[in-house]
Amino acid sequence: DIICINKADHPRLDRLRAELKQVLGLADPSERPVVVETTAIDASGVPELWQAVCAHRDSLAASGRLEARRRAQLEREILTLAAARVARRLERSLRERPDLAAVIDAVAARRSDPLAAVEALLAEDS
């Protein structure tokens, strides 16, 4: 939503600006991010960057998109944590399967493929 070009003192900045302008020209004008240039050595542009961040946050809050994004991020976080926990449980369960070695042997011998192996391990009647 905001693009910060650090090293605004770089000698090839003009080339980067031109390339960025070309890429951003493909986007819907109402969706184009603000571009702010900074230089870390002397902190130039940092106040402008902070101003852009605050303005963008205010805009998102006023439109309701800030809360929507927050909820979407929370959903991703919860689903990621749940998926990791389920994966650990599933892995423990699969390692306890007496037929796991045979399934691995079949894949290693190319009598089966990894997808078929997973389907066999996860089949309801296993």
Report the alpha-carbon distance of residue 3 to residue 49 in Å, rounded.
9
Q: Model confidence at 8, in pLDDT bands (50, 70, 90)?
A: confident
Strand partners, 4: 36
Q: What is the pLDDT of the chain when averaged over all its residues?
A: 93
pTM over 0.85: no
Work out the burial of residue 36: count CB atoms within 10 Å of its CB; fewer than 13 is exposed, 13-18 middle, 19 or more buried.
buried
